[in-house]
Amino acid sequence: MKSLKLPPWLVLLLPAIIILAAVVLIPLVLSLYSSFTAYKLTRPDSLYRWIGTFNYEKAIGDAKFWAAFGRTVLLLTVALNLEMLFGLGLALMVSKVTRGQRALRTMMMFPMMFSPILVGFQFKFIFNDNVGLVNNALQSLGITDQAIPWLVDGNLAMFSIIFAEVWTATSVFAILILAGLYAIPKDPLEAAKVDGCTAWQSFRYVTLPFLMPFIYIAMAIRSLDVARAYDIVQIMTNGGPARRTELLWTLIGRTGYVDARMGYANAMGYISIFLAIFFTVFFFRKLTAARAELGMGV
Amino acid sequence: MAQVHLRDVVKNYGPLEVVHSINLDIADNEFVVLVGPSGCGKSTTLRMIAGLEEISGGEIFIGDNVVNDLPPRERNISMVFQNYALYPHMTVRENLGFSLKIAKRPQAEIDKAVDEAAEILSLTPLLDRKPGALSGGQRQRVAMGRAIVRHPDVFLFDEPLSNLDAKLRTQMRVEIKKLHQKVRSTIVYVTHDQVEAMTLADRIVIMRDGHIEQIGTPLDVFENPVNTFVATFIGSPPMNLLNGVVRDGAVVLEDGTTVPVPPGYQAREGQAVQLGMRADNVMPVGHSLPPTEHMAQIEMDVNLTEPLGTETLLFAELAGAEVQAKMLNPRPVEAGERMTFQVMLDKCHLFDAESGAALRG
Ligand SMILES: Nc1ncnc2c1ncn2[C@@H]1O[C@H](COP(=O)(O)OP(=O)(O)OP(=O)(O)O)[C@@H](O)[C@H]1O
Ligand SMILES: [Mg+2]
C-alpha cells in the first residue's frame, strides 16, 4: 500500500493551518456565505437558499440600520473625545502627585476590572428612575422633586450610556497618556521655560506633541472597542426606548438571535466592520504621522 | 543692563550639598567662564541662574532684582543646554524662531532673526530639517542659534562646543567672541576646555567640588594661581609640582637639589612646600631663555621627548617626580640623557604642601 506522503514543510505547517482554519477561516467563510443566503436560525435548510446581494441591498435601504450606524458613530465620537479629555486630565493630575502615585495608578485601573455586563447592571440601577442612586441623591438634595427618566427618555438614555462608557474606559486613556508623560524627555520642557513659555504654552507646544502618539494608540484601541459596543447598552436599555439607543451591534444581535434572521444580520455585520476598519486605519495613520513629526521614524 | 550677582548661593539635593555658598559678581557685558572638573557644580550653578533649579539658600540678582522666585521666562535669559534640548517635533527654523513666536513678535521680524542666526551658524541649508536628521555638531549649532535669535539680558552657555570637531570648535569660538563684541550682553559660559576658557573669558571662575577656588582674568589665574588646584588645572601642560622643604631661603627637594625661593613668595624655615614651575619656564641651558636676574639651574635625566613641531616637550625626572620642560629650536635628544636646565625663578610658584595655598609674601 502506498501511503500518502506530504512534503515536510506542509506537515510542519499543518497544525497552524488547521487552527487558523478552525478559528478564523471557517467562521469567516461561513458567515460571509450566509450573508448571501436567506439563512434563518430556526430553519437550518434555509442556509442553502442563495439570494445573492439581497441582504446587502436591504441593509443599505434600511433606515433603522443607518440610524443605528449613525448612533454608533455618534457614540464613538462623543465617548472617545470625552474619554481622551478626562484621561488626559487625570493623567496630568496623577503625574503631579508625589506621594502614593503607585496606589493611585492601581486605583485608576479599577473600572477596567469589571465585566461590562456588570457595569451595565450597575448603571442600570444607578440611573433607575424610581430606586436609582442618582434620582435619590438629586431629590434628597432638593435639586429636583421629579423622578428624572434617565433610561426612559431617548436623549437621557444615550447620555447615560455614554456616561457608563466613559466611566469604564477613561482609565485606558489615562494609563496610556501617563505612560506618555513618563516618556517625555525633560530637556525640551526646560528649553521651553527658558524660551519664555508659560505652563500652558509648554503643554501646548511641547508636551502635547509628545503625547499625541499615545493618544492615537488609545484612540485606535478604544475605537475598536466602542464600534463593537454591545453589552452595556444591551443591559442598560436593550436598545430602547423605541430604538433610541439602538447601536449597530444591538441591532445585529437582535436581528440574528431574536428574529433569527442570521443571513441578514451577517450582511449588516460585514457592512459595520468597515466602520471599525475605517476608524482603526484613520487612527493608525494619525499615529504614524505623529511619530514622524517627533522624528521617531515610521 | 544686566549684572548678575550670586550671594552665598547654596544648592542641596536632599541632604547632599553640591554648591557651597558661592559668591560671584558679574558685570554688565562681561564674559565670565566657569571651569572645573566634571561634577564640580558648573551646570548646577548655571541652571540656578536660569531659574531651572531652585536655590536652597542665598540670593541671585539679575540687574537690580532678586530673581530667586522668578520663573525662567521672567528672567530674560537664554540658554544653550549641555545636551542641546532641541524640540524634536519642530524644524530647525521653528526651533530657532520658537522663543520669538511665543513672545508674539511679527512674522517678518522672526524670519529676519532666524535667517541671520542661521547665516552666522551656517545652518541655512538645514533650516527645513528636523533635529532627528542632524549630526551632533549641527544640533549644537541649532541650540546656539536658538539662544542668539533673542536679545536677552544674559546668555547662559553650558558647554556649547563640546560636541564639535576641533576645526569647527575653533571657528565657533571665534563666532562667539564676535557675537559677544557685537551684541554686548552678559555671558556666563561653562566649559571643561581651558583653551576655550582662556581665549573667551573676560574673567575665569575656577570651581571645585561646589566651591569657587579663584576668580580672575585669564592672565591673572595663569600667572598667580592661588593654590595648587588652580595651578595644575589652568595651563597646558599642567604646572610641575615638586615637594621640598625650605632651608636657608631655598627649597631643598627630596634628592637634595636646592632651588631658591621664588621672588614674591615667603615660607617659614622648615616648612613643607611644593615648588611649582611651568614647562615654558624650564628649558635646557642654551635654549633661548633670555638671561634674567632670577635664574636657577637644575640637572635632570630626560626620559621621553614629545616633538610638537616648533617645540619639543621633554619629560624629565627630578627628586622622584616627573617634570615637563620645553625646548625651543629642538634638537634630537636621547632618552636617558642628562641635561642641565634653566628655571625662570620669577615665573615659579611656592605652595604650602599641606593646604596647597600659594605662599605669597
Ligand atoms: N538631581 C540631582 N540629585 C542629586 N545630585 C545631583 C543632581 N544633579 C546633579 N547632582 C550632583 O551635583 C554635582 C554637580 O553637578 P553638575 O551637573 O553641576 O556638574 P558639572 O560641573 O556641570 O559637571 P559636568 O562638567 O560633568 O557637566 C554632581 O556631583 C552631581 O552628581
Ligand atoms: Mg555640566
Q: pLDDT at position A2, please?
A: 59
Contact B354, B268 (CB under 8 A): no
Q: Is residue B250 scored above 80 in pLDDT?
A: yes
pLDDT average per 10 residues of sequence, chain A (298 residues): 76 89 87 86 82 83 87 90 93 88 87 87 86 84 80 84 90 92 91 92 92 91 85 83 82 85 87 86 90 72
**Separation in Å, CA of A116 to nearest CA in chain B:** 39
Distance CA B218, CA B230 (A): 12
Question: At A130, is the secondary structure helix, strand, or coil?
Answer: coil
pLDDT-derived band at B294 (thresholds 50, 70, 90) equals confident
Taking the CA of residue B207 as reference, the ligand 1 atom at the shortest distance is 21
CA–centroid distance, B98 to ligand 2, in Å, is: 24
Residues of A within 8 A of B146 (CB-CB) are 191, 195
- Whether A191 and B79 lie within 8 Å, measured CB to CB: yes
For B186-221, the pLDDT digits (tens) are 999 999 888 899 999 999 999 999 999 999 999 999
pLDDT score at B205: 96
Give the closest residue (by CA) to ligand 1 atom 30: B39
Atom of ligand 1 at shortest distance to CA of B40?
Answer: 21
Contacts of B83 in chain A (CB under 8 A): 187
Nearest to A230 by CA among A72, A66, A32, A28: A72
Nearest by Cα to B312 from B324, B330, B295: B330
Residues β-bridged to residue B244 = B253, B273
The closest ligand to the CA of B42 turns out to be 1
CATH 3.40.50.970 for the A34-107+169-293 domain, yes or no: no
- Our CA-based measurement puts residue B35 at a distance from the nearest CA of chain A, in whole angstroms, of 22
Q: What pLDDT was estimated at residue A64?
A: 86
Q: List the beta bridge partners of residue B59.
A: B7
| Contact across the interface for A191 and B72, Cβ inside 8 Å | no
Q: Are B176 and B168 in contact (CB under 8 A)?
A: no
Question: What CA–CA distance (Å, rounded) separates A260 from A293?
Answer: 50
Question: B102, A209: Cβ pair inside 8 Å?
Answer: no
Q: Which three cell numbers stand for residue A217?
A: 494608540
**Phi/psi at A240 (5° precision):** -85, -170
A159 dihedral zone (left: phi>0; alpha: psi -120 to 50; beta): alpha
**Average confidence score pLDDT of chain B:** 90
| A180 neighbourhood in chain B, CB within 8 Å | none
Q: Is pLDDT at B288 greater than 70 in this prediction?
A: no
pLDDT per residue as tens digits for the range B227-242: 999 999 998 889 999 9
Q: Is the CB of B18 under 6 A from ligand 1?
A: yes
Write down the pLDDT at residue A298. 44
Handedness of CA B150, B153, B159, B161 (dihedral sign): positive
Confidence (pLDDT) at B333? 81
Q: Is the sign of the CA dihedral B90, B92, B96, B101 positive or negative?
A: negative
Q: What is the pLDDT of residue A231?
A: 84
**What value, to the nearest 5°, has the Cα angle with vertex B59 and ends B56 and B60?**
110
Give me the pLDDT at residue B213, please.
94
Q: Please tell me the residue having the least CA distance from ligand 1 atom 26.
A: B38
| Cell numbers describing residue B192 | 571643561
Q: What is residue A256's predicted lDDT score, i.e. its pLDDT?
A: 84
Percent of chain B with pLDDT over 90: 57
For chain B, give the longest Cα–Cα distance.
76
Which residue shows C-alpha cell 597646558?
Answer: B236
Q: What is the identity of the amino acid at B103?
A: A
Chain A contacts of B133, Cβ < 8 Å? 295
**CA pair distance A189, A211, nearest whole angstrom:** 13
Residue by residue, DSSP assigns A197-212 as --HHHHIIIIIHHHHH
Flag the least confident range among A239-243, B18-22, B303-307.
Answer: A239-243
Question: ω into residue A241 within 30 of 0, thus cis?
Answer: yes
Please give the ipTM for the structure prediction: 0.81
Measured by CA distance, the residue closest to atom 7 of ligand 1 is B13
Domains and their CATH numbers in chain B: 4-233 (3.40.50.300), 240-352 (2.40.50.140)
The packing angle between helices A101-108 and A63-96, to 10°, is 170
Q: Which of B9, B17, B42 to mutate to test the pocket of ligand 1 (most atoms within 8 A of CB)?
A: B42
- Show the cell assigned to A219: 484612540
Write the burial class of residue A23 (CB in 10 Å: 0-12 exposed, 13-18 middle, 19+ buried): exposed
What is the per-residue pLDDT for A230?
84
In tens, the pLDDT along B106-141 reads 999 999 999 998 988 889 999 999 998 888 888 888
CA distance B156 to A262: 73
Asked if the model's pLDDT at residue B70 lies above 50, the reply is yes
The C-alpha torsion from B148 through B154 and B159 to B160, rounded to 10°, is 0
Q: Helix (H, G, I), strand (E, B), or coil: what is residue B178?
A: helix
Please answer whether residues A209 and A293 qualify as being in contact, where contact means their C-beta atoms are separated by less than 8 angstroms. Answer: yes
Q: How confident is the model at residue B348 (pLDDT cuts 50, 70, 90)?
A: very high
Q: What is the pLDDT of residue B290?
A: 66
Closest atom of ligand 1 to B46 CA is: 18
Most B CBs within 10 A among A194, A204, A214, hence the mutation to make, goes to A194
Strand, coil or helix: B309 = coil
What is the CA angle A223-A229-A235, rounded to 5?
Answer: 155
Tens of pLDDT, residue by residue over B321-335, are: 899 999 887 778 888
Question: What strands lie across the sheet with B272-277, from one edge to the other?
Answer: B258-260, B250-253, B240-247, B272-277, B349-352
Residue of A nearest to B156 (CA): A194
H helices within chain A, ranges in order?
A: 8-20, 26-34, 54-60, 63-96, 101-108, 116-126, 133-140, 154-183, 186-194, 199-202, 208-227, 231-236, 248-253, 262-293
**HSE, side-chain direction, 13 A CA sphere, residue B168:** 14
Instruction: Check CB contact under 8 Å for B83 and A187.
Output: yes
Band (pLDDT 50/70/90 cuts) for residue B285 is confident
B49: exposed, middle or buried (Cβ count in 10 Å: 0-12, 13-18, 19+): buried
Shortest CA gap B355–chain A (Å): 40
> Ligand 1: does its nearest atom lie under 6 Å from the Cβ of B40?
yes
Position B307 scores a pLDDT of 87
Residue in chain A lying closest to B82 (CA): A187
Residue B42 CA to ligand 2 center (angstroms) comes to: 6
Of A272, A271, A263, residue with least CA distance to A51:
A263
Residue range B254-277, pLDDT digits in tens: 888 899 999 989 989 999 999 999
Nearest residue on chain B to A191, alpha-carbon basis: B85
